[in-house]
Amino acid sequence: MKERIGFIGLGIMGKPMAENLIKAGYALTVYDVVPGPVNELVKAGASAGLSPKDVAQKSNIIITMLPNSPEVEAVLTCEDGLLDGIKPGAIYLDMSSIDPIVTKRLSDEVSKKGAVMLDAPVSGGQPKAIDATLSIMVGGPKEAFERVGQILRVMGSSAVLVGDIGSGNVTKLANQIIVALNIAAMSEAMVLATKAGVDPEKVYNAIRGGLAGSTVLDAKVPLVLKRNFNPGFRIELHIKDLANALSMAHEIGVPLPLSAQVFEIMQALKVEGKANNDHGGIIQFYEKLARTEVKQE
């Protein structure tokens, strides 16, 4: 018998993730403060929850996919919140990318209700949420991870238990540092090639099979060449992740000078009104400085 799943947070990532669970035959109760996605998923076979409490009362597994720590905390602790309805023995699976310190605090509150929390942030953006090939990084008890393993495999191509509660979000922050610095390096290289008069598409095709090749390079350069900055993962969300990484790093005494620099580049783009651009839009910062534009010839 399949678990009854509650899903809270049906945005750019959450909605396709929930759709994949419905397609796999799971019974879903869904909730979001925006009614449109809820209505769409109800038409696809889900039930609408009246509140986070209602979702928790109707579910053995509750998933949240929300923007940041304050939203996750609010869903748990608000009036008619998730903690008011969660049942003993339930698993709360937070797939948001939030501050690991907040994760640990919320896990303590979930434990008081006789339930278990896992933090399971994802990497891959909207395209991989749609085609169910997300990479999922999980922190928490092994027994709970094994119980939700099949559910995670419906949404992602890999799910790895990396440690105790909070470890998933630490891993996600490490991931976001690498992605941000990769995009910045790609941006510098492509702007340099373009300003030097070399076709950036040919440069990309020449280097992608060598040591400089990466998933980031293959995902972002083709979009940049088409001047497509529609969000797969918004700059403002990457700002949030780097802010969490810098905050944790300062607390435990780890310098992150390159991350701090890319963080400020993203902040500059946000000031220019580009917060909702895809994070591949980082290249626009370098293009402005070099007075050139990277595009297909």
Percent of the chain's residues with pLDDT above 90: 96
Rg (CA), the chain: 20
| Token digits of residue 44 | 């696809």
What is the mean predicted confidence (pLDDT) over 136-159?
A: 97
Select from 173, 177, 187 the least CA-distant residue to 280. 187
Q: What is the pLDDT of residue 136?
A: 98
Q: pLDDT class for 259, splitting at 50, 70, 90?
A: very high
- Look over the chain and give the mean of its residue pLDDT values, rounded to a whole number: 96
Which residues lie below 8 Å from residue 53, measured CB to CB, with a gap of 6+? 80, 81, 82, 84, 85
pLDDT tens-digit profile of 70-121?
999 999 999 999 999 999 999 999 999 999 999 999 999 999 999 999 999 9
Query: pTM of the entire structure?
Result: 0.90
Indicate whether 127 pLDDT > 70. Answer: yes
Residue 124 has a pLDDT of 87
Return the minimum-mean-pLDDT range out of 188-197, 230-239, 256-265, 268-277. 230-239
Confidence of residue 209 (pLDDT cuts 50, 70, 90): very high
Q: Distance from CA of residue 164 to its chain's centroid?
A: 19
Mean pLDDT of 254-264: 98
Q: Half-sphere exposure of 127 toward its Cβ, with a 13 Å CA cutoff?
A: 8
Residues paired with 134 in a beta bridge:
156
Q: List the one residue out of 172, 177, 195, 174 whose CA is nearest residue 283.
A: 195
> Token pair for residue 287?
């293009």
Q: pLDDT digits over 155-168, tens only?
A: 999 999 999 999 99
The dihedral region occupied by 291, where left means phi > 0, alpha psi between -120 and 50, and beta the remainder, is left
- State how far the Cα of 12 lies from the Cα of 290, in Å rounded to an integer: 33
Contacts with 180 (C-beta within 8 Å, 6 or more apart), sequence order? 238, 242, 259, 262, 263, 266, 279, 282
Name the residues annotated as catalytic: 172
Q: What is the DSSP letter of 279?
A: G
Q: Report the DSSP pairing between strands 61-64 and 47-48.
A: unpaired
pLDDT band at 125 (very low <50, low <70, confident <90, very high): confident
Output the pLDDT for position 1: 53
Domain boundaries, the chain: 4-165, 170-290
What mean pLDDT do residues 135-139 have? 98
pLDDT at 232 over 90: no
CB neighbour class for 279 (10 Å; exposed up to 12, middle 13-18, buried from 19): buried
Specify the pLDDT at position 3.
Answer: 87
Strand, coil or helix: 130 = helix
Query: How far is residue 294's CA from residue 206's CA, in Å, rounded to a whole number?
Result: 16
pLDDT of 34 strictly over 60: yes
Q: Which fold has domain 170-290?
A: N-(1-d-carboxylethyl)-l-norvaline Dehydrogenase; domain 2 (1.10.1040)
Do 4-165 and 170-290 show the same overall fold? no
Q: What is the mean pLDDT of residues 262-282?
A: 97
Query: Distance between CA 212 and CA 204 in Å, rounded?
Result: 10
**pLDDT over 90 (residue 2):** no
Mean pLDDT of 211-221: 96
The answer on pLDDT for 37 being more than 70 is yes
Q: Whole-angstrom Cα distance, residue 189 to residue 266? A: 18
Q: Measured between alpha carbons, how far is 222 from 272 in angstroms, rounded to an integer?
A: 23
Handedness of CA 212, 213, 215, 218 (dihedral sign): positive
Q: Which of the 8 DSSP states describes residue 87?
A: P
pLDDT mean over 191-204: 98
The average pLDDT across 268-278 equals: 97
Q: Given 3.40.50.720, 1.10.645.10, 3.20.20.80, 3.10.105.10, which CATH number is that of 4-165? A: 3.40.50.720
Q: Where are the beta strands (DSSP E) in 44-126?
A: 47-48, 61-64, 91-94, 116-119, 122-123
Can you tell me the mean pLDDT for 46-72? 97
pLDDT score of 253 more than 80: yes
